[in-house]
Chain A
Amino acid sequence: MLKSQYDIIVVGAGPAGTVAARFAAMQGVDVLVLEKDRDVGYPVRCAEAISKRNVVPFIEPNDKWIAAKINKYAFVSPNGEEVVIEFDEVNGYVLERRIFDYELGRLASEAGAKIQTRVYVNGLILEGEKVCGVKAEFQGKQIEIRSKIVIGADGVESRVGRWAGIKTHIDYRDMESCFQVTAANVDNVDPGTLYFYLGTNYAPGGYFWVFPKGDKLANIGLGISGGDNKKRSALSFLNDNMKKFFPNASVLTQIAGGVPCALTLERISGDGIMLVGDAARQVNPLTGGGIGSGMIGGRVAGEIAGEAIRKNNLQLLDNYHNAWMKERGKSHLIFDKLKEGIFNISDDEFNDIIKKLKKIPKEKRTLGKFFVTALAKKPSLIVDVAKVYVV
């Protein structure tokens, strides 16, 4: 049963929420995680790719949630040419997030956090501007649970921050509106390669992806910026791409989704409140990857929240923004600049870039070189590439 009071309440049991809960609970404080859906980890609104170095600090890699091991990255130009960048070792995974998220939930629970699904949080208990707990719908009843800290880990649709007076809505042009299918009998896809299709014909203001999941299964989807979705929807682009590239595939799952490809919010904490993951807009604004950075944001917030409770000093929450910026936020500033550079490249230019990259010998191709070639006309950004990739 739920108690009427906890030290910390986390709203949302995605990767950011359960990691925040774990790192707080590890310090012996009393943590409750509330999730509105029936399941932790389902439905999966995600293409499930993550770099290995973002997984290892949080959970030991296990084949039960690894669908594919990745060491190659293919970029396809608007005119259909493909260049592959290959690494000697596996450095990425395509996950089974349904199981991965579940495991993160298990770890949080074993660390002492209590998780409860099917609780819809619909407001905050406020005393002036101070957040003192949540209001929620649970088993047909409206309930109130008090806490010293509320952590909003409620994803792209986050409202917790708004209720605490933090401006969290994102410009529709920064929202990548996505549609994805998980398909079977997907032909001509290498099981160790992530495919990125670049160009306005595939996905304007975003990209079209094909991420393998073993046994000819793949996550096939795309994200386009709200500015483009306004003219023609993500769904309609995906239908076209499927017809063109994978006419023999069967659709086993289909899902809509959104990625807030913006910079981290200017304010991610307040009096008794912290935001983590998509809710704080802690997504890599270039790639749209948010599992890894959400877990990092979760750890940073969870550690600080736990310490604040232990030391009975809620002022410590003020350190969260700087700690996040140091850990990841600063590199997101660079990725955001690269995003502006990359998404302004015309289709003709992309065709050229891929052609040029193909001329570089395979063993010398790197992700850094990809960006350097892509941004050759914007030399100021090349320095930024060097900061985030080993060129």
Chain B
Amino acid sequence: MYRIAKTGQKLMIEILPDKCDFCGCCVGVCPEDAIELKEAEIRIIDELCTNCSKCIWACPIEVIVFNKDGVLKEAIY
């Protein structure tokens, strides 16, 4: 199952697990307030994200990627 963005399309923005430094650049540029950043936890809020990619362009360490196939919902074990 794919995650669904605000636009109704598949969510294509993916923050690589365990790679983020929690610096806040992506949150600062996101026009939709679609990123939640805690002390050491980050996530895209699917229903707010428009796949605009601005967060990718701002990340200093290249840990947000554009996944054109769409981001899968996490498997539940």
- Which residues of chain A from 128 to 183 have any CB-CB distance to chain B below 8 Å in the complex? 137, 155-159, 162-163, 169-172, 175, 177-179
Query: Would you call A177 and B39 a contact (CB within 8 A)?
Result: no
Query: Would you call B33 and A258 a contact (CB within 8 A)?
Result: no
Q: Report the minimal beta-carbon distance from A357 to chain B, rounded to whole angstroms.
A: 31
Identify which of A137, A171, A256 contacts B25 (C-beta below 8 A).
Answer: A256
Asked if B24 is at the interface of the complex by the 8 Å CB criterion, the answer is yes
Identify which of B24, B54, B58 contacts A155 (C-beta below 8 A).
Answer: B24
Query: Would you call B58 and A226 a contact (CB within 8 A)?
Result: yes
Given A36-B39, A120-B39, A256-B21, A159-B27 contact (CB < 8 Å): yes
Query: Would you call B61 and A258 a contact (CB within 8 A)?
Result: no
Interface of A is mostly: mixed
Asked if B38 is at the interface of the complex by the 8 Å CB criterion, the answer is yes
Q: Report the minimal beta-carbon distance from B18 to chain A, rounded to whole angstroms.
A: 14
Report the contact-size class of chain A (Cβ under 8 Å from the partner): 35 or more
Query: Would you call B61 and A175 a contact (CB within 8 A)?
Result: no
Determine the distance from Cα of A241 to Cα of B50 in the docked complex, in whole angstroms.
35
Query: Would you call A156 and B60 a contact (CB within 8 A)?
Result: no
Asked if B65 is at the interface of the complex by the 8 Å CB criterion, the answer is no
Determine the distance from Cα of A226 to Cα of B29 in the docked complex, in whole angstroms.
9
Which segment, of A228-236, A268-276, A285-293, faces chain B? A228-236
What residues on A are CB-neighbors of B38 within 8 Å?
36, 120, 137
Asked if B28 is at the interface of the complex by the 8 Å CB criterion, the answer is yes
Determine the distance from Cα of A194 to Cα of B36 in the docked complex, in whole angstroms.
35
What residues on B are CB-neighbors of A230 within 8 Å?
56-57
- Which residues of chain A from 69 to 101 have any CB-CB distance to chain B below 8 Å in the complex? none
Identify which of B30, B36, B37, B59 contacts A233 (C-beta below 8 A).
Answer: B59
Given A37-B39, A120-B38, A257-B23, A175-B28 contact (CB < 8 Å): yes
Query: Would you call B28 and A170 a contact (CB within 8 A)?
Result: yes
Determine the distance from Cα of A162 to Cα of B29 in the docked complex, in whole angstroms.
12
Identify which of A137, A169, A227, A256 contacts B23 (C-beta below 8 A).
Answer: A256
- Which residues of chain B from 25 to 60 have any CB-CB distance to chain A below 8 Å in the complex? 25, 27-31, 33, 36-39, 54, 56-60
Q: Report the minimal beta-carbon distance from A229 to chain B, rounded to whole angstroms.
A: 6
Closest to A167 in B: B31
Asked if A45 is at the interface of the complex by the 8 Å CB criterion, the answer is yes
Given A36-B39, A255-B23, A258-B28, A177-B33 contact (CB < 8 Å): no
Query: Would you call B23 and A159 a contact (CB within 8 A)?
Result: no
Closest to B24 in A: A157
Contact string, B54-73, partner A, CB cutoff 8 A, digits 1/0?
10111111100000000000
Query: Would you call B27 and A177 a contact (CB within 8 A)?
Result: no
Closest to B29 in A: A172
Determine the distance from Cα of A233 to Cα of B19 in the docked complex, in whole angstroms.
15
What residues on B are CB-neighbors of A159 within 8 Å?
27, 33
What residues on A are CB-neighbors of B30 within 8 Å?
169
Closest to A223 in B: B60
Closest to A221 in B: B60
Determine the distance from Cα of A256 to Cα of B28 in the docked complex, in whole angstroms.
14
Given A229-B60, A235-B60, A258-B60, A175-B29 contact (CB < 8 Å): yes
Query: Would you call A156 and B24 a contact (CB within 8 A)?
Result: yes
Determine the distance from Cα of A210 to Cα of B53 in the docked complex, in whole angstroms.
31
Query: Would you call B28 and A260 a contact (CB within 8 A)?
Result: yes
Query: Would you call B25 and A175 a contact (CB within 8 A)?
Result: yes
Asked if A38 is at the interface of the complex by the 8 Å CB criterion, the answer is yes
What residues on A are CB-neighbors of B31 within 8 Å?
169
Closest to B57 in A: A230
Given A169-B31, A175-B29, A258-B28, A229-B58 contact (CB < 8 Å): yes
Closest to B31 in A: A169
- What are 24 A-B contacts defined by CB distance under 8 Å? A118-B39, A120-B38, A120-B39, A137-B38, A155-B24, A156-B25, A156-B28, A157-B27, A157-B37, A162-B33, A171-B29, A172-B57, A175-B28, A177-B60, A226-B57, A226-B58, A230-B56, A233-B61, A234-B60, A234-B61, A235-B62, A256-B21, A257-B24, A258-B24
